[in-house]
Amino acid sequence: MAAEAIVVDQVSKRFNLRHTRSLKETVVWLFKGRRGDLSSTFMALDGVDVTVDVGESVALLGYNGSGKSTLLKLISGVMSTDTGSVKTRGKVAGLIEVGAGFHPDLTGRENVFLNGVLLGMTEKETEARFDEIVEFSEIGKFIDTEVKFYSSGMFLRLAFSVAVHTKPDVFLIDEILSVGDEPFQKKCLARIQELRESGCTLVVVSHDLDMVSKVCDRGVVLRQGKKVADGPISEAVRLLREG
Amino acid sequence: MSAELLAAPDKGGGLLDVLRRRELLRLIVRKELKVRYRSSVLGLLWSYVKPGVQFIVFYFALGVFLGLNKQPNFVIYMFSGIILVNFFSEAFSNATRSVVANGALVKKIFLPRELFPVASVWVAVVHFLPQFLILLTACFFFGWSPSIVQIIGAVGAFVIVALLSLGLGLLFAAANVMFRDSENIVDLMLMMATWLSPVLYAWYLVRDTLGETFYFFYQLNPMTIAVELFHFAFWAPTAAVRTAAEGARMPDNLISLWLPVGLLISAVILAIGQTVFRRLEGRFAQEL
């Protein structure tokens, strides 16, 4: 069955770079007869079409500023499109940035619950997976310590652990597999493979071409907001390496 | 899972979405409460110390020096108004700041953004309740015997303030994402809030001094209606007021006319706030 999990249809996104954030300057500008520009724009995405089937794992590749992260944000719903449409099926969980919902003044345990629910689980589900989450993160006895006392590695491990245990239908990953030391990275990759085998749809944004070659079977290459290639991961990686 | 239909991810149902994610709302409220008083010795007590000191200042300045204490049970009169205005101030100002303060989440995780202003109002309710209990205790001490209508008035007043602060909070929270000036505008509005309602003086002074027309517009302020309703519910039924020669002077038609008017105006402001919020919501992630 090849049902679509994500349909991105002719999507464009223009960013307004506003030069002021104060009402006074805007009013002054209005009174001066709107001389000069208060803002300039640039196209982050320009008519992009991507369809991802259920169970596929797709890498979004491209250089910095090519619009990968913007596309991921549009899919997760954090941003809305200017033109075109984005549609998704099932529960989408975004790892747009690890630990976004973590609060430094709460303990590890409180953060696990807050983030589990933030990422779309119920409190009961979080409760049920709590031990698994803690075990995976290797945080151990520090779980009841406030997160601000964690080392950056511990923090990221716990955040990642919560995210990969949410069991979404569509999993969006932005440059997060560079978490922790090598053994933990391996564990993360194994966990992602597991999710993939269980039928979860993956969309990965990363600059680590070796890693995406292992995790994804398809690659979409973006350049300055336009889709320039869409095919097997090996070809996409080669295209990117050759420039 | 593929039984589910393809749908746009930003299918914002506005405040209804917040109802659907009550669990998350509760966790955010708990977080706000915990974080607010982190590493402070007095903790939640601070939310009593501040209104307490404010109350003492008003009591001496107005009650003792300006002689307002000659009115029967002026303490109850003043306190019932103050806690309502405090509730409004906290809910409104925190709701205004809530979206910007939670910018990290708004930018990275998709969730109904109305959660943050709603959570702020909820937190304000948590702080309001203990103050309200103090008021109730004081009322019993002063021989309080309210009628059903007066209780309904009090509930109505609470609903008016909750709707109003949420509506204004949504409106200014959205505006605050675009222009940080709105925080200062809100501070100005709150500075006036205590004085634009009959918290520290009697409503008929406004009518007698400035005339019926001005009084009509004064009375359209939902906060004015709510404060008067609280006076009606908590101050009027205390013993000294009931036995006083002039009794409790309340505006005409407070329950039959002004209560519904206050509810209506607050509901309209909530609708406007929600509409503006939803219109601007799509730009939050890129503006923050």
pLDDT in tens, A26-77: 787 777 776 666 667 778 888 888 888 888 889 888 888 888 888 888 888 8
Three-class HEC string of A194-242: HHHHCCCEEEEECCCHHHHHHHCCEEEEEECCEEEEEEEHHHHHHHHHH
Question: DSSP label at B7?
Answer: B
pLDDT tens digits for range B167-226? 999 999 999 998 888 899 999 999 999 899 999 888 999 999 999 999 999 999 999 999
Closest among B120, B175, B165, B179 to B269, alpha carbons compared: B165
Q: What is the pTM of this model?
A: 0.87
Q: Which pLDDT score is estimated for B3?
A: 46
CA angle, residues A108, A112, A118, in degrees to nearest 5:
140
Which range (A46-50, A206-210, B10-14, B279-283) has the least confidence?
B10-14
pLDDT at B53 over 90: no
The pLDDT value given to residue B11: 56
Judged against a pLDDT cut of 50, whether residue B256 lies above it is answered with: yes
Q: Which residues pair with A205 in a beta bridge?
A: A60, A174
Give the per-residue pLDDT at B20: 81
Given a cut of 50, is residue A140 above it in pLDDT? yes
Instruction: Reply yes or no on whether the pLDDT at B2 is more than 50.
Output: no
What mean pLDDT comes out for the span B45-63?
83
Domain boundaries, chain A: 4-31+42-242
From A6, A3, A169, select the one nearest A75 (Cα to Cα).
A6
> Which chain B residues touch A7 with a CB distance below 8 Å?
6
Mean of pLDDT over chain B: 88
What are the tens digits of pLDDT across the range A98-138? 677 788 888 899 999 988 888 888 889 999 999 999 998 88
Q: Which of B111, B181, B286 sits opposite A79 (nearest CB)?
A: B286
Other C-beta atoms within 10 Å of A45: how many? 26
DSSP conformation class of A144? G
A4-31+42-242 CATH: 3.40.50.300
B34 and A114 in contact by Cβ < 8 A?
A: no
How many CB atoms lie under 10 A from the CB of residue B28? 26
Q: Which helix (H) or strand (E) holds A94?
A: strand A92-95
Examine the predicted complex and report whether its ipTM is higher than 0.95. no
Contact flag B2-A88 (C-beta cutoff 8 Å): no
Question: Is B2 within 8 Å of A89 (Cβ atoms)?
Answer: yes
Least confidently predicted of A26-35, A76-85, B150-159, B268-277: A26-35
Does the beta-carbon distance from A88 to B9 stay under 8 Å? yes
